Amino acid sequence: MTAVEDAPSAQIGQARHRKEDPKLVTGQTSWTDNIQLPGMLYMAFVRSSMAHARIDGVDYSAALEQPGVIAAFSGEDLADDWAGPLPCAWPVTPEMVHPDHWPLAKDEVRYVGDAVAVVVARSREAAADAAEHVVVDYEPLDAVVDMEQALEDSTLVHSDKGTNECFVWNLDSGDLDDAFENAEVVVKRRFINQRLIPTAIEPRAVVVAPVPASGQYTLYSATQVPHILRTMLAMTTGVSEEKLRIVAPDVGGGFGSKLNVYAEESVALAVSSRLKRPVKWTESRSENYQATIHGRDQIQDMEVAADADGRIRAIRADLKADMGAYLQLVTPGIPVLGAFMYCGIYKMDAYSFTCTGVFTTKTPTDAYRGAGRPEATFALERLIDELAAELEMDPIELRKRNWIKHEEFPSDTIAGLTYDSGNYEAATEKAMELFGYDELREEQHRRREDGDRVQLGIGVSTYTEMCGLAPSRVLGSLDYGAGGWESAVVRMLPTGKVEVVTGTSPHGQGHETTFSQIVADDLGVDFDDIEILHGDTKVSPQGLDTYGSRSLAVGGIAIHMASERLVEQMKEAAAHMLEAAIDDVEFEGGTFRVKGSPEASTTIQDVALGLFTAHDLPDGFEPSLQAECTFDPENFSFPHGTHLAAMEVDTETGEAKVRSYVCVDDVGTIINPQVVEGQIHGGLVQGIAQALWEEAIYDDAGNLVTGSIVDYYVPGAPDVPSFTTDHTVTPATSNPLGVKGVGEAGTIASTPAIVNGVVDAIRHFGVNDIRMPCSPERVWRAIQDREGHTQDDTSDQELEGGGMG
């Protein structure tokens, strides 16, 4: 019926240059911090310098005397301004321990960076200066930063809860006892999936513009989730939802860190309400490192049972996941999202996933690119390589023996998901060819024989992920507090142009371009005649925002279906205009035609104008120029791919370098290959960064040692090579465009590929694991240890500064 089905796509599949770019390359941007409003005041937060302490008093009298200061508030002062604590929307078990989390701490602080008070002044500098004059009387309490120590409950993060164990979540499938007792080979490993700091380059910022007389508020925030933020703020502050408009202006990256409801947003609303003036707060980078959520931080005890020929019988994953001091929006759900992914692409008889959530006196964790799935993929793909080593089998051969074959789709996994489509053979074959797998294996062998100082390792990662979050019913069964649908409105304007309203909220992904390509094909209108509207609850009142690689696979499908509905709706008017029966009218490439009489036609633009004037329409016909759709997917989507890393390890310095990296990803139908490639590139570097450089480190007293970009190594251009990226296309069967989502794939896949490569390079020294990040020091020590050299007294586990090595 539409151009997509009947004719070759004009736009889908083209590398259109992005619509988003002109303002971004010329500096005509609208970041939240750009906003200046008449009478606007600036907020600065006083944050805890202690990991754990009782607050015996907050004295801001000296701050109030500083120049330009208008007001200051402590947690006690604002205690009555909240309808409830900050929200956690994912109580993963009914018994989950859920401590109150107030926007400003009242009686105790529980991590370095916990907000204690806010100072409001006429300039950002005056506010920052005055905050220095606030005196907080702390009674120090013990910090607990190590999860296993925390589980002993000798130091409690929340003393009233009596335990640091937040929850235990379990999923068992198949006969585990049989699999493990009768297996010929069992391999066990403990992996540390270290804490990461997301580091979106735009820090968070919030501006609130009140209309005090009518109780209306517009809150601008550097957020990924304006819609979720609106509902959650309405539920937890005194502002009623219909009075609250949220705007996400240009947002400079998120990676999950802006998928949250933060204390500063609540406080800005409360302060603006109290002072009846606009307020602004912009995060400094050091605040960002302490007070914006962190990612990962799991201890992963893994076990695989297999036959001697490599057939996997069972996998067991037992996790401890660090929640930090409080539960943010989806903190406990993040490791649980991994529950279905520790079997990856492999068939097996039995499976066990257990996750224990643990409170510590550290910054809360939450979603960071991949959110539970990179952790799962890392542990699984590392374990598979260890099994291959144990069996003295090529790691790709082992994977081949166990993965779901392309003819076996759709396939129910041992963890209870149904993978709709995939072709692991095709992606792997293509990747091996591009990589020169056999030649590199030969070179590796040769260099080992020769005892080269620089050894070569080959890292393999054959991942899949569940994305396109998500079927609402599934989210409900996982106790998530919202659905997973997405909403769209497609609207013709009287002049023949098109407006598309989406409930997704892009922050760098190129949705305006990608969605325009879909609509251009659906409606047969020019790509440049389409405007995508988003990120403002007044413009787009209904939506569930952008995360979990959902925007195309859910939001894009809603747009596609709304476009099709609009065409159907307009067809009736077109038939009337063409004096034909509706069944005789067909639509293609922007033109309505009467079947069999090609000269009888009218364009979609002419029909739009006819609908607008409404002078001559069928009796009772509603002259609407728009159609809408709310799409709730029936299943997740399952991108997959094969990533191969050639790692060179200098055995004398321990330095590990990426010599070449090939990935072949299958993300289903590709709307814009350039945008997809960009997503893969960026994802790869974030995943490689976990493998080689990044680690948030706390000392025993709970101080964040890596508290700025000076100390936390975010990779720069010289650190990474150019990648060879390619794809196979196995369309998803769960949506009409066959798309799967691409935002997280690179990050999920690349971490284990790199670490597998490093370990593979030095396995002949007897090394079978390197803790991430694989810094030169850690690699060097691993080689020295296994060579039997005498070590100094610092064991690898106790090393600090891994990210800096």
Partner 1 sequence: MPAISVEIDGVNYEDEVEARLLLVYYLRDRLGLTGTNVGCDTSNCGTCTVLLDGQSVKSCTVLAVQADGTEIRTIQGLAENGEWHPLQEAFHTEHGLQCGYCTPGMIMSSLDLLQENPDPSEEEVREGLEGNLCRCTGYQNIVKAVRKAAGEMKEGASA
Smallest distance, Å, CB 24 to partner 1? 3
Paired with 299 in beta bridges are: 192, 320
625 is written with which tokens? Answer: 């120029």
Long-range contacts formed by 611-617: CB under 8 A, 24+ apart: 611/492, 611/570, 611/573, 612/494, 616/576, 616/577, 617/573, 617/576
38 binding partner 1? (CB under 8 A): no
Compose the 507-526 pattern: x for residues touching partner 1 by CB under 8 A, - for all others.
Answer: xxxx----------------
Q: How far apart are CA 805 and CA 799, in angstroms?
A: 10
39 binding partner 1? (CB under 8 A): no
* Closest to partner 1 by CB, 26 or 790: 26
Residue 162's CB is within 10 A of a number of other CB atoms, namely: 10
Stretch that binds partner 1, among 118-126, 207-215, 451-459, 468-476 (CB under 8 A): 118-126
* Closest to partner 1 by CB, 459 or 590: 459
Kind and range of the H or E run holding 678: helix 673-692
- For every residue of 248-264, DSSP letters joined together read --B----TTTTSS--HH
214 binding partner 1? (CB under 8 A): no
695 binding partner 1? (CB under 8 A): no
Q: How far apart are CA 464 and CA 207, in angstroms?
A: 39
Selected from 10, 13, 14, 20, the binder of partner 1 by CB under 8 A is 20
Smallest distance, Å, CB 738 to partner 1? 23
- For every residue of 49-77, DSSP letters joined together read SSSSEEEEEEE-HHHHTSTTEEEEEETTT
251 binding partner 1? (CB under 8 A): yes
Selected from 82, 90, 220, 255, the binder of partner 1 by CB under 8 A is 255
Smallest distance, Å, CB 551 to partner 1? 13
173 binding partner 1? (CB under 8 A): no
- For every residue of 512-553, DSSP letters joined together read HHHHHHHHHHHHT--GGGEEEE-SBTTTS-S---S-TT-III
Evaluate the CA torsion angle 737, 684, 769, 169 in order and state its sign.
Answer: negative
* Closest to partner 1 by CB, 26 or 214: 26
Instruction: Please provide the distance, in angstroms rounded to a whole number, between the alpha carbons at the two ends of the chain.
Output: 60
708 binding partner 1? (CB under 8 A): yes
On whether the CB atoms of residues 396 and 460 are closer than 8 A, the answer is yes
22 binding partner 1? (CB under 8 A): yes
Paired with 167 in beta bridges are: 357
Cα torsion at 78, 79, 84, 87 (round to 10°)? 60
Q: How far apart are CA 116 and CA 137, in angstroms?
A: 11
Smallest distance, Å, CB 504 to partner 1? 15
Paired with 305 in beta bridges are: 186, 314
Q: How far apart are CA 608 and CA 611, in angstroms?
A: 5
User: Do the strands 216-221 and 205-211 form a parallel or antiparallel pair, or are they unpaired?
Assistant: antiparallel
Query: Measuring CA to CA, which residue among 20, 361, 45 is closest to residue 203?
Result: 45
Smallest distance, Å, CB 124 to partner 1? 8
Selected from 214, 722, 790, 797, the binder of partner 1 by CB under 8 A is 722
Compose the 265-284 pattern: x for residues touching partner 1 by CB under 8 A, - for all others.
Answer: -----------------x-x
685 binding partner 1? (CB under 8 A): yes
User: Do the strands 454-464 and 640-650 form a parallel or antiparallel pair, or are they unpaired?
Assistant: antiparallel
Selected from 364, 633, 682, 757, the binder of partner 1 by CB under 8 A is 682
Selected from 201, 211, 308, 581, the binder of partner 1 by CB under 8 A is 201
Q: Total residues contacting partner 1 (rule CB under 8 A)?
A: 59
Residues 343-402 within binding reach of partner 1 (CB under 8 A) = none
Selected from 120, 200, 246, 384, the binder of partner 1 by CB under 8 A is 200
Selected from 5, 6, 34, 140, the binder of partner 1 by CB under 8 A is 34
* Closest to partner 1 by CB, 81 or 677: 677
Is the bond preceding residue 470 a cis peptide, omega within 30 degrees?
yes
Residues 612-641 within binding reach of partner 1 (CB under 8 A) = none
49 binding partner 1? (CB under 8 A): no
Smallest distance, Å, CB 428 to partner 1? 23
68 binding partner 1? (CB under 8 A): no
* Closest to partner 1 by CB, 636 or 712: 712
**Exposure pattern of 562-576 as b/e (b: 16+ CB <10 Å)?**
bbbbbbebbbbbbbb
Stretch that binds partner 1, among 197-205, 515-523, 599-607, 644-652 (CB under 8 A): 197-205
Q: Which residue has the tokens 């799967």?
A: 740
211 binding partner 1? (CB under 8 A): no
Residue 107's CB is within 10 A of a number of other CB atoms, namely: 10
199 binding partner 1? (CB under 8 A): yes
Selected from 224, 686, 690, 706, the binder of partner 1 by CB under 8 A is 686
- For every residue of 469-520, DSSP letters joined together read ---HHHHHHTT-SS---EEEEEEE-TTS-EEEEES---SSS-HHHHHHHHHH
On whether the CB atoms of residues 470 and 636 are closer than 8 A, the answer is yes
Q: How far apart are CA 233 and CA 268, in angstroms?
A: 11
Smallest distance, Å, CB 44 to partner 1? 13
Stretch that binds partner 1, among 99-107, 390-398, 504-512, 630-638 (CB under 8 A): 504-512
Selected from 675, 692, 748, 762, the binder of partner 1 by CB under 8 A is 675
Stretch that binds partner 1, among 212-220, 259-267, 424-432, 702-710 (CB under 8 A): 702-710
203 binding partner 1? (CB under 8 A): yes
327 is written with which tokens? Answer: 């539960």
* Closest to partner 1 by CB, 303 or 665: 665
Selected from 125, 433, 652, 787, the binder of partner 1 by CB under 8 A is 125
Stretch that binds partner 1, among 103-111, 517-525, 684-692, 761-769 (CB under 8 A): 684-692
Smallest distance, Å, CB 708 to partner 1? 5
Q: How far apart are CA 355 and CA 90, in angstroms?
A: 15
Selected from 385, 677, 744, 777, the binder of partner 1 by CB under 8 A is 677
What is the binding site for partner 1 (CB under 8 A)? 17-18, 20-29, 31, 33-34, 36, 123-125, 199-203, 250-253, 255, 282, 284-286, 507-510, 674-675, 677-679, 681-686, 708-710, 714, 716-718, 720, 722-723, 746
